[in-house]
A and B are shown apart, each in its own frame.
Chain A
Amino acid sequence: MTALVTADPDRIVRTDLAVRTDGLTRRFGKQVAVDSVDLVVPRGAVYGFLGPNGSGKTTTIRMLLGLLSPDAGDIEVLGAAMPQGLASVLPRVGALIEGPAFHPYLTGRANLRRLDACDRTADPRTSKDRIDAALVRVGLLAAGEKKYRHYSLGMKQRLGLAAALLQPRDLLVLDEPTNGLDPQGTREVRHLVRELAADGATVLVSSHLLAEVEQVATHVGIMAGGALLRQGELHEVLGGETAVVRIATPDVDLARPALAALGLELQDDPEGLVADLGGFAPEDVAAAVVGAGARLRGLRVERPHLEELFVSLTGEGFDVLR
């Protein structure tokens, strides 16, 4: 097994965690679907849960929500041990699990009404208002009276999000929330996730769309083959790979000594110079160039992307591993 790079759990006070698992393991027959996963999701985080198809993300999520029982390991959600705490914790958790699922012969609104009626923590007096608000929030108010069967994939996905938002939540578990959405829909979901996080909710988003996650996540966890390979704050996880600064200038000879004096190890670049940024602030680099009398045409900091890290961890191959 690959070495785990996990945030030190002792560094974080336990109650500050929205989700914590300890040695979480689940087998299906001989296959180990989830292999001693230690998930650490701090409260208020937007946690991007990444991994190729079949890497065990959904199985993990199903165990968090009490749909599957683990073979080994402990689960804590919002400070309560699971599955004992399911009844008290789940009302504060909104979930979208492996795609939306509703009664096809009911309208979108009737489906939400059904879910709200089944939720004993839902106030029947505010039911209509909350359903309206949820439909508005996902842009589905106009299609509320349409049968679910006649919804497009994107509309179904939106209804699933609306269901998760019927009540105020402390934790949202969104499994592939942008599946089937068009670019606008994807943007809206991103916006929604930011909004929810700004309201103080913790959001656990599983996705294989790395660029999406990179734009909203504060934390990431990367799974492959049932194991959690990396986990932590986004910049920490990416921090293993260093940022590069590209300085575009026609006056290379003027800029070089000033930058070398700053302590950068310079290399030539077609547009000017390039160096590992290290701990330097980009604005100091710019100031040094200009201060030396060189004309600065452009300065670009290139950070490694999640995609490169992801591929380096999980492999290039397209084939499902198991």
Chain B
Amino acid sequence: MSSVDTYPGAFWRLYRSEARLVLGRRRNIALLVVLAIVPLLIAVGVASSRHQDSGGPAFLGQITGNGLFLVFTALTVCTPLFLPLVVGVVAGDSIAGEAGTGTLRYLLTLPVTRGRLLVAKTLGTLTFTAVSVLVVAVSGLLAGAAFFGLHNVTLLSGDTVSLGNGIGRAGLIALYLVVALFGLAAIGLFVSTITENAIAAMATTVGLAVFSLVLDSVPQLSAIHGVLLTHNWLGFGELLRTQVDSAALLRWSALHLAYAAVFLSLAYARLTTKDVTS
């Protein structure tokens, strides 16, 4: 095989182009705006109705005492539906969208080899996932600070830790969520290699997440709950205990990474053998 003269940093350039494409698209920016509004709405709602009855999402009761809890509440609210929706849209669009507009054939003949394209698309999707989670967290932090002030954090186990420690835990929660959503992102990328219809790929991906949520809500199916895609998404509450069960968190993360490995392999197998007729 003759070698090709490539420029150093070429992959970084490809990645940046991919990230700019995903983050610059108006539809995706609109999704981020919606995510940023969620914590604001919760803050306004909580601030305007001061009666403290229990019910509602986790941590809701603590928000008035400490704005940092708005971050946890907002992430809890967004995790089952909004974040999977955003991940599904971006992952589903990744390759099917390029196939649909015909740009895929021009990328492949540049050439961007198919393996490199999949890696770039995966990293682009992960970047958008991370930005989405961060948008919710940062918006929650700012709104919480503005509405309720930030204080030392009383953990679920009753101990109190410093505000810095609490923000650090929020950061770890965000990281856990990105890992947890990676499995779904990989499914979306795989679906995206099957079709040229981006909308169908998005709907399928989001549909699979919803399907998993539904299965998870049927007690009779508890035998399979442990391996469901969505089952451990809210497990990040673990990070708000004094004694963090890190073994459990790692086990759950490993499950999501296993999902990612399986579906990225399928996506690779599919993309590298695909006939591009669009």
Which residues of A are in contact with B by a Cβ distance under 8 Å? 62, 65-69, 80, 84-88, 90-91, 93, 95, 97-99, 101-105, 113-115, 117-124, 163
Contact = CB atoms under 8 A, between A and B. Distances in A.
A117 B16 contact: yes
Contact of A86 (B17, B102, B111, B275): B111
Contacts of A87: 4, 111, 113
B1 A118 contact: no
A97 B101 contact: no
A83 to B, nearest CB: 10
Given A118-B107, A118-B110, A163-B106, A88 B1 contact: yes
Contact of B2 (A67, A85, A93, A163): A85
Interface of B: 1-7, 9-11, 13-14, 16-17, 21, 25-26, 101-103, 105-113, 116, 120, 273, 275-277
B1 A119 contact: no
8 tightest Cβ-Cβ pairs between the two chains A and B? A101-B102, A120-B10, A117-B17, A90-B111, A67-B276, A120-B6, A88-B2, A119-B110
**Which secondary structure dominates where chain A touches chain B?**
loop
Contacts of B108: 65-67
Contact of A115 (B102, B106, B277): B106
B272 to A, nearest CB: 11
Given A67-B276, A118-B14, 20 more contacts: A66-B108, A67-B105, A69-B273, A87-B113, A88-B1, A88-B2, A88-B3, A90-B111, A91-B4, A91-B110, A97-B109, A99-B102, A102-B103, A105-B26, A114-B21, A120-B4, A120-B7, A120-B14, A120-B116, A124-B7
Nearest to B15: A117
B110 A65 contact: no
A114 B120 CA distance: 13
Contacts of B113: 86-87
Nearest to B17: A117
Q: Which of A91, A101, A103 has the most CB of B within 10 A?
A: A101
A91 B4 CA distance: 9
A163 to B, nearest CB: 7
A236 B11 CA distance: 48
Contacts of A113: 17
A66 B111 contact: yes
A101 B276 contact: no
A66 B108 CA distance: 8
Q: Which of A84, A91, A99 has the most CB of B within 10 A?
A: A91
14 contacts: A67-B105, A67-B276, A80-B2, A88-B1, A88-B3, A88-B4, A90-B111, A98-B102, A99-B102, A101-B102, A117-B13, A118-B13, A120-B6, A120-B7
A174 B26 CA distance: 33
Contacts of A84: 1
A67 B275 contact: yes
Contacts of B11: 120
A121 B101 contact: no
Contacts of B9: 124
